[in-house]
């Protein structure tokens, strides 16, 4: 016999209670791990999209807030009020490359998709795109569409097939190679075609700017501001403001998970308190056989810890599975652009951390019952009926 | 014979305070001789179990002293008392008090574990003890699979686990039928013949008649048994 065997025998004596208490902490930890994974996924996706934008500066309509900055990264619809003249003024600045975008939304088979109006050749170079199938736009005014790889797969689009945007059938010219970002879920049209389709003559949503010298980003931001009365945000600023929004979302999700864990912790307190009362006599027997108060304390604390360890392990596995299978579905509904990249946020450190955290929470929850058990006098315990 | 393994002097135990004060023991002096079979008898609620708890180091006296094997234990702290119980005292209680989640063997192994015996030695020793009480073939049985008499014999084996100086038994046959009581008593008398000191709380005159020494506890004192009081 060893203390750990003794603990396992005690725990498994009442299998139903053991399983249900364990389920409590498993559910709590599973939600915690899922939310952490989802949060991590959003964060890493934001960073990837920011990198995929390939810009050091983004020119947005005056007074754009963080929400619009999120939209640039996610491909949501944006207010479109940057004029042709403003774009020309920005593009006239030397030492940088400026690419205008018209960001719009449409629906294919009742599912929302991003539609982007682009300058075909410049954007292709800017983003280093390559084609997986078909052809690219032949000229700046080409009528067709080029679609992202995931979108093509989802809607069965191939070169030659038609895609319906705002009631107009548009021929798919080609499919891009997978980029791992929101471009995979976007329909690209040439800028004039998109402007006509969305009734935004000579207007764009934002301009992505890449400066030749990274140490002069600030300088070029000021140059743009001198030329046009628009908002200019650096990719770093944009990323940090978007990440702070994501951080708040994550924090909220984790608070919800924390409540679930807290409820599970009280479940452990309840189970262990019941065990203390039910096993008063057993505690007395152990004391009569020579168990010290400290020994009884450790046995009870160990039992609580086991709930945390197994609950944490089960919860981490369940949460991990939920993150792998459910997160992409959640993302798909909330923002299609986050479909990709949601599956690689299962961090082993987080997995182990969740198990350790769960064990710690369970042991803290077991502290009071363990103290109560250890403070029983042997005579009181042995005389308990 | 003057070789006491346990002595108690002016032993007083009180519970509660003020109007709720209960004087369980009011000044007990006794000597338990090594290798003796002593019965503590007397009416219920007059201090028999309290006396046993104090002699076995399960509780501290309000005043007075208890000495076991030359060591004064009444002022020992809880940790030292626990160590004393693990090594020098073997308890057996009326309601068997086996750990229900463990087998007969594991119950004995737990007592050995608490005295720091290695797992390997626990296995060997527990089997020996079960053989001594005639339950060598019931090692893997859970308490619920054993009869009352068998459970009490397992409890005796567990009490013997660490070679205690004395076995303290609180009405160990009180819940057994005659046949089981006879089985348990046979085991105990054999142990006593081999030199084990036994203190036995009982209401049974038949068992008391087998004792070397009878302590009659009444109103918190040790008194002469009623039949002797009438005679005197």
Kindly determine whether residue B79 and residue A6, on different chains, have CB atoms separated by under 8 Å.
Answer: no
Residue A344 predicted with pLDDT over 60: no
Residue A340 predicted with pLDDT over 50: no
| Cβ-based neighbour number of residue A153 at 10 Å | 14
- Alpha-carbon span A159 to A179, nearest angstrom: 18
Strands (E), chain B: 4-15, 22-33, 37-41, 63-68, 71-72, 89-92, 166-170, 197-201, 213-218, 221-223
pLDDT score, position A105: 87
Contacts of B124 in chain A (CB under 8 A): none
- Alpha-carbon span A244 to B211, nearest angstrom: 83
B193: which strand partners?
Answer: none
Q: A308, A359 in Cβ contact below 8 A?
A: yes
Q: Closest to B86 (Cβ–Cβ): which among A5, A289, A378?
A: A289
Average the pLDDT over each of A259-263, A298-302, B132-136, B140-144 and give the range with the smallest value: A259-263
- Alpha-carbon span A329 to A212, nearest angstrom: 40
Phi, psi of A220 (to 5 degrees): -70, -30
Give the residue from A290, A302, A378 with the most B CB atoms within 10 Å of its CB, the best one to mutate.
A290
Q: Closest to B106 (Cβ–Cβ): which among A1, A284, A383?
A: A1
Q: How does DSSP assign B88-116, residue by residue?
A: HEEEE-TT----TTS-HHHHHHHHHHHTT
Kindly determine whether residue B78 and residue A292, on different chains, have CB atoms separated by under 8 Å.
Answer: yes
Number of H helices, E strands in chain A: 14, 12
Q: A323, A346 in Cβ contact below 8 A?
A: yes
Kindly determine whether residue A10 and residue B114, on different chains, have CB atoms separated by under 8 Å.
Answer: no
**Which domains does chain B possess?**
4-231 (3.40.50.300)
CA distance A288 to chain B (A): 6
pLDDT score, position B146: 93
Please give the residue of chain A at the shortest CA–CA distance from B117: A1
For chain A, what's the residue count? 385
Mean pLDDT of B173-200: 88
Please state the separation of Cα A158 from the chain's center in Å: 30
Q: Closest to B122 (Cβ–Cβ): which among A1, A378, A382?
A: A1
Which run of H or E residues covers position A96? strand A96-108
Pairing of strands B22-33, A111-118: unpaired
CA distance B120 to chain A (A): 9
**Residues of chain A with a CB closer than 8 angstroms to some CB in chain B:** 1-3, 5-6, 9-10, 12-13, 281-282, 284-295, 377-379, 382-383
For chain B, what's the residue count? 232
Residue A232 predicted with pLDDT over 60: yes
pLDDT score, position A335: 43
Q: Closest to A382 (Cβ–Cβ): which among B93, B114, B162?
A: B93
- Report the candidate in A61, A188, A68 with the shortest Cα–Cα distance to residue A126: A188
Give this prediction's pTM. 0.72
Intra-chain end-to-end CA distance of chain A, in Å: 26
Kindly determine whether residue A290 and residue B82, on different chains, have CB atoms separated by under 8 Å.
Answer: yes
Kindly determine whether residue B82 and residue A12, on different chains, have CB atoms separated by under 8 Å.
Answer: no
Residue A267 predicted with pLDDT over 60: yes
Contacts of A289 in chain B (CB under 8 A): 85-86, 91, 110-111, 114, 158
Look up the ipTM and state it.
0.88
Share of residues in chain A with pLDDT > 70 (%): 90
Kindly determine whether residue B91 and residue A13, on different chains, have CB atoms separated by under 8 Å.
Answer: no
Please give the residue of chain A at the shortest CA–CA distance from B105: A1
Please give the residue of chain A at the shortest CA–CA distance from B79: A292
Kindly determine whether residue B59 and residue A13, on different chains, have CB atoms separated by under 8 Å.
Answer: no
Residue A330 predicted with pLDDT over 60: no
- Alpha-carbon span B222 to B29, nearest angstrom: 8
Pairing of strands B197-201, B37-41: parallel
Kindly determine whether residue B110 and residue A13, on different chains, have CB atoms separated by under 8 Å.
Answer: no
Kindly report, residue by residue over A35-85, the tens digit of the pLDDT.
877 777 777 777 777 777 777 888 888 766 666 666 777 666 677 788 999
Give the residue from A18, A288, A294, A375 with the most B CB atoms within 10 Å of its CB, the best one to mutate.
A288
- Alpha-carbon span A215 to A126, nearest angstrom: 20
Q: Closest to A10 (Cβ–Cβ): which among B101, B113, B158?
A: B101
Kindly determine whether residue A289 and residue B91, on different chains, have CB atoms separated by under 8 Å.
Answer: yes
Phi, psi of A11 (to 5 degrees): -65, -45
Instruction: Provide the number of CB pairs (under 8 Å) joining chain A to chain B.
Output: 83
Please give the residue of chain B at the shortest CA–CA distance from A295: B114
CA distance A281 to chain B (A): 8
Kindly determine whether residue B158 and residue A289, on different chains, have CB atoms separated by under 8 Å.
Answer: yes
To which residue do tokens 């009870």 refer? A300
- Alpha-carbon span B138 to A159, nearest angstrom: 80
Contacts of B106 in chain A (CB under 8 A): 1, 5, 9
Q: A69, A242 in Cβ contact below 8 A?
A: yes
A99: which strand partners?
Answer: A208
pLDDT score, position A327: 61
Kindly determine whether residue B112 and residue A1, on different chains, have CB atoms separated by under 8 Å.
Answer: yes
Kindly determine whether residue B58 and residue A379, on different chains, have CB atoms separated by under 8 Å.
Answer: yes
Q: Closest to B114 (Cβ–Cβ): which among A10, A291, A379?
A: A291
User: Residue A339: which pLDDT band, with cuts at 50, 70 and 90?
Assistant: very low
Q: A60, A228 in Cβ contact below 8 A?
A: no
Average the pLDDT over each of A80-84, A291-295, A328-332, B197-201 and give the range with the smallest value: A328-332
Contacts of A374 in chain B (CB under 8 A): none
Contacts of B98 in chain A (CB under 8 A): 285
Share of residues in chain A with pLDDT > 90 (%): 33
User: Residue A337: which pLDDT band, with cuts at 50, 70 and 90?
Assistant: very low
Q: What integer best gives the mean pLDDT of chain B?
A: 89
Contacts of residue A213, defined as CB under 8 A and 6 or more positions apart, other chains included, come to A95
Q: Closest to B101 (Cβ–Cβ): which among A13, A295, A378?
A: A13
Contacts of A18 in chain B (CB under 8 A): none
Contacts of A10 in chain B (CB under 8 A): 101
Kindly determine whether residue A1 and residue B83, on different chains, have CB atoms separated by under 8 Å.
Answer: no
3-class state of residue A384 by DSSP: coil
CA distance B178 to chain A (A): 24
- Alpha-carbon span A43 to A249, nearest angstrom: 11
pLDDT score, position B33: 92
Q: A272, A303 in Cβ contact below 8 A?
A: yes
Kindly determine whether residue A288 and residue B86, on different chains, have CB atoms separated by under 8 Å.
Answer: no
Contacts of B85 in chain A (CB under 8 A): 287-290
Q: What integer best gives the mean pLDDT of chain A?
A: 84
- Tokens read off for A288: 């009569």
């Amino acid at each position: 016999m060893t203390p750990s065997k003794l603990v396992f025998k005690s725990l498994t004596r009442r299998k139903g209670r053991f399983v249900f208490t364990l389920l409590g902490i498993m559910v709590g930890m599973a939600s915690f791990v899922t939310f952490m994974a989802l949060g991590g996924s959003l964060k890493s996706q934001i960073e990837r999209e920011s990198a995929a934008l390939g810009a050091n500066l983004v020119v947005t309509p005056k007074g754009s807030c963080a929400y619009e900055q999120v939209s640039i990264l996610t491909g949501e619809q944006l207010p479109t009020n940057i004029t042709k003249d403003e774009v020309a003024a920005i593009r006239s600045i030397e030492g940088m490359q400026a690419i205008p975008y018209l960001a719009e939304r449409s629906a294919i088979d009742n599912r929302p998709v991003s539609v982007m109006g682009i300058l075909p050749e410049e954007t292709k170079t800017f983003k280093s795109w390559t084609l997986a199938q078909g052809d690219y736009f032949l000229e700046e005014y080409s009528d067709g569409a080029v679609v992202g790889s995931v979108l093509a797969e989802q809607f069965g689009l191939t070169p030659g097939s038609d895609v319906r945007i705002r009631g107009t059938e548009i021929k798919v010219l080609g499919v891009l190679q997978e980029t791992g970002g929101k471009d995979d879920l976007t329909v690209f049209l040439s800028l004039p075609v998109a402007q006509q389709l969305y009734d935004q003559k000579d207007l764009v949503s934002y301009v992505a700017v890449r400066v030749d010298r990274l140490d002069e980003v600030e300088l070029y931001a000021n140059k743009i501001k001198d030329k046009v009365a628009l908002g200019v945000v650096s990719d770093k600023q944009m990323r940090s403001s978007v990440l702070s929004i994501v951080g708040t979302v994550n924090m909220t999700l984790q608070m919800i998970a924390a409540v679930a864990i807290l409820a599970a912790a009280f479940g452990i307190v309840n189970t262990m308190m019941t065990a203390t009362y039910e096993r008063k006599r057993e505690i007395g027997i152990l004391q009569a056989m020579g168990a010290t108060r400290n020994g009884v304390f450790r046995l009870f604390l160990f039992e609580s810890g086991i709930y945390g360890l197994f609950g944490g392990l089960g919860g981490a596995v369940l949460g991990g599975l939920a993150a792998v299978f459910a997160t992409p579905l959640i993302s798909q509904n909330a923002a299609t652009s986050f479909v990709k990249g949601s599956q690689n946020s299962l961090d082993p450190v987080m997995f182990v951390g969740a198990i350790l955290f769960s064990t710690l929470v369970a042991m803290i929850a077991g502290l009071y019952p363990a103290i109560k058990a250890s403070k029983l006098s042997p005579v009181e315990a042995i005389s308990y009926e | 014979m003057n070789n006491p393994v346990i002595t108690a002097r002016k032993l007083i135990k009180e519970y509660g305070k003020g109007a709720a004060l209960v004087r369980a023991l009011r000044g007990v002096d006794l000597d338990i001789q090594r290798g003796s079979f002593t019965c503590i008898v007397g009416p219920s609620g007059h201090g028999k179990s309290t006396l046993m708890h104090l002699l076995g180091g399960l509780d501290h006296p309000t005043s007075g002293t208890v000495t076991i094997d030359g060591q004064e234990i009444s002022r020992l702290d809880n940790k030292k008392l626990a160590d004393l119980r693990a090594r020098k005292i073997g308890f057996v209680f009326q309601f068997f008090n086996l750990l229900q989640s463990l087998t007969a063997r594991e119950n004995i192994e737990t007592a050995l574990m608490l005295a720091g015996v290695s797992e390997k030695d626990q296995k060997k020793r527990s089997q020996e003890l079960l053989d001594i009480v005639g339950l060598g073939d019931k090692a893997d049985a859970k308490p619920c699979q054993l009869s009352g008499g068998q459970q009490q014999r397992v409890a005796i084996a567990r009490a013997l686990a660490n070679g205690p100086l004395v076995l303290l038994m609180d009405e160990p046959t009180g819940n057994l039928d005659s046949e089981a009581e006879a089985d348990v008593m046979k085991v105990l008398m054999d142990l006593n013949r081999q030199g084990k000191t036994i203190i036995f709380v009982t209401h049974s005159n038949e068992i008391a008649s087998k004792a070397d020494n009878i302590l009659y506890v009444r109103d918190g004192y040790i008194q002469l048994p009623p039949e002797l009081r009438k005679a005197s």
